Chain A
Amino acid sequence: MNGVHDVGGMHGMGPIRAEKDEPVFHAPWERRAYAVTRAMGAWRKWSLDASRYQRELILPADYFTMSYYERWIVGLVELMVKTGLVTRAEIESGTPDQGSPKQVPVLTADKVPILTAKGASAKRDVVAVASFHAGQRVRSRNINPVGHTRLPRYARGKVGTIHRDHGIFVFPDSNAMFLGEKPQHVYSVRFAARELWGEQAPAQDSVYLDMWDSYLEPA
């Protein structure tokens, strides 16, 4: 979606505020927001792609007034309700609905180190056609999907060169919408800064983006 999250190339966002000796979390609630979101993800009712898309749906005027973990919590609540893990009434009352079954948590403390070390790879060991090869000139498609996409606006309809093929990965545009993984090749694509931003950009500078096969066409 052409959403407010897609900020690459925008002006007017203000200075970068780097904090000295920054803590990992800035308040106790941020710790809990992070952990609750991670623990609920372990139920595997939604993908990381779906989580990102849910946060992208936050209304633009609210997106920038919310802090990072506020967006996580808003997204989490929506996904839990959508997938039936909790009801809207339970969120509003703060107590389980009458007669709702007591579950057994899937993520226990002993599993945390295993989950952390193992990760959750989006790479898939399946066969998929590689439409492009390293060194090939390509053009990113000018697409404007209303759902989730990982093709930023600033890099649409631009000519670049395939730098390398990373292999076959889950396609977020379908996966985020609960429409299946549809794995595709992902390529690192080099775009000259001048192709993206025009003549004022230094000639030797570039931006590399990772792009799925269907984001590209031969140039």
Chain B
Amino acid sequence: MTTNRRDFLTGAITAAGAAVTPNLSHGQQHEHDHEHQVVPSDPTLRVKALESLLVEKGLVDRAALDALIDTYEHKIGPRNGARVVARAWADPAYKERLLTNADTAIGELGYGGLQGEHMVVVENTSKVHNLVVCTLCSCYPWPVLGLPPVWYKSAPYRSRAVIDPRGVLREFGLALADDVELRVWDSTAELRYLVLPERPAGSENLSEEHLAALITRDSMIGVAKVEARPEGDRR
């Protein structure tokens, strides 16, 4: 039942055919000596072969694959979450709804659905800072933030966000004062978490649209604050 990398790559060779690996039979005879030389390390071939097989069997539709990719590359991403946060900053009644019934409030802006069916929004203040992680896998609120960045899915972040969250924040350039309460949210069930960052000083006169432009993905995960004037890289 368990699988390993060799299975993965053996499949890649076989499916891709002998043209890619002319020494295949030789490699099999001397597997222990040569497997690292004859095995292509590129998963491109394996995935291509798999997709072709599934299309040929009538199990997947290529146009549906294209639509899925387009959705998360171009339609759903952290700009959605930024609009939610900007609305909450601009409209106290909306903010109240967002913090008490996040699904309905987020739905008001037209967002919701897959991997964000049940949302919880947690508010950062001058006294409380929230940080979101999924230590077991990669749970993340897709409808408002899109697909997660690699670092969020990686072992360094997942391992340390719960045991040393202040160290993690320092690594992101955020030094949290000792008197601030830090709450870490480990997404272990089907609830998905969005941080409502603090509205920065100096943003009082900005329109909702301008506010949204300040709000970064990282601030909605809790690894950054929102700056009134964004500098350099905005993630």
B30-38, B161-169, B205-213: which lies at the interface: B161-169
Q: List B contacts of A99 (CB < 8 A).
A: none
B189 near A: Cβ within 8 Å?
Answer: yes
Partner of B135, one of A7, A43, A93, A104: A7
C-alpha spacing A123/B5, complex, angstroms: 35
Q: List B contacts of A154 (CB < 8 A).
A: 135, 162-163
B186 near A: Cβ within 8 Å?
Answer: yes
A145 near B: Cβ within 8 Å?
Answer: no
* A-B residue pair count with CB separations less than 8 angstroms: 302
C-alpha spacing A47/B49, complex, angstroms: 24
C-alpha spacing A91/B3, complex, angstroms: 14
Contact present for B46 and A73 (CB under 8 Å): yes
B157 near A: Cβ within 8 Å?
Answer: yes
Partner of B136, one of A38, A65, A95, A152: A152
- What does the 1/0 interface line of A24-41 toward B look like (CB < 8 Å)? 111111011111101110
B: number of interface residues (CB 8 Å): 91
B117 near A: Cβ within 8 Å?
Answer: yes
A44 near B: Cβ within 8 Å?
Answer: no
B21-29, B64-72, B84-92, B195-203: which lies at the interface: B64-72
Contact present for A22 and B58 (CB under 8 Å): no
Q: List B contacts of A16 (CB < 8 A).
A: 151, 154, 156-157, 160, 168, 171-172
C-alpha spacing A52/B178, complex, angstroms: 37
Q: List B contacts of A66 (CB < 8 A).
A: 5, 8
User: Closest approach, in angstroms, between the C-beta of B181 and any C-beta of chain A?
Assistant: 4
Q: List A contacts of B218 (CB < 8 A).
A: 18
Contact status of A62 and B163, CB under 8 A, knowing A13-B156, A105-B58: no
Q: List A contacts of B151 (CB < 8 A).
A: 16-19
Chain A residue at smallest Cβ distance from B14: A92
Contact present for B71 and A116 (CB under 8 Å): yes
C-alpha spacing A204/B72, complex, angstroms: 38
C-alpha spacing A150/B116, complex, angstroms: 18
Within B42-77, the residues touching A (CB, 8 Å) are 43-44, 46-54, 56-61, 63-69, 71-73, 76-77
Contact present for A205 and B165 (CB under 8 Å): yes
User: Closest approach, in angstroms, between the C-beta of A125 and any C-beta of chain B?
Assistant: 13
Contact present for A94 and B117 (CB under 8 Å): no
- Number of chain A interface residues as a range: 35 or more
Contact present for A94 and B53 (CB under 8 Å): yes
Q: List B contacts of A10 (CB < 8 A).
A: 155, 159
Partner of B60, one of A33, A73, A105, A206: A105
Residues of chain A whose beta carbon lies under 8 Å from any beta carbon of chain B:
5-11, 13-22, 24-29, 31-36, 38-40, 43, 52, 55, 57-59, 61-62, 64-70, 73-78, 85-86, 90-96, 100, 102-105, 107-109, 111-113, 115-123, 150-152, 154-155, 166, 169-170, 186, 188, 193, 196-197, 202, 204-212
Residues of chain B whose beta carbon lies under 8 Å from any beta carbon of chain A:
1-5, 7-8, 11, 14-17, 43-44, 46-54, 56-61, 63-69, 71-73, 76-77, 112-118, 120, 133, 135-138, 146-147, 149-151, 153-163, 165-166, 168, 171-172, 178-179, 181-191, 218, 233, 235
Besides A118-B113, A166-B191, 6 more A-B contacts (Cβ < 8 Å) are A19-B149, A21-B235, A25-B69, A38-B68, A57-B3, A202-B178
Q: List 12 A-B contacts (CB under 8 A).
A: A5-B137, A8-B158, A8-B159, A9-B163, A16-B154, A21-B235, A24-B146, A36-B54, A73-B50, A96-B57, A121-B118, A186-B189
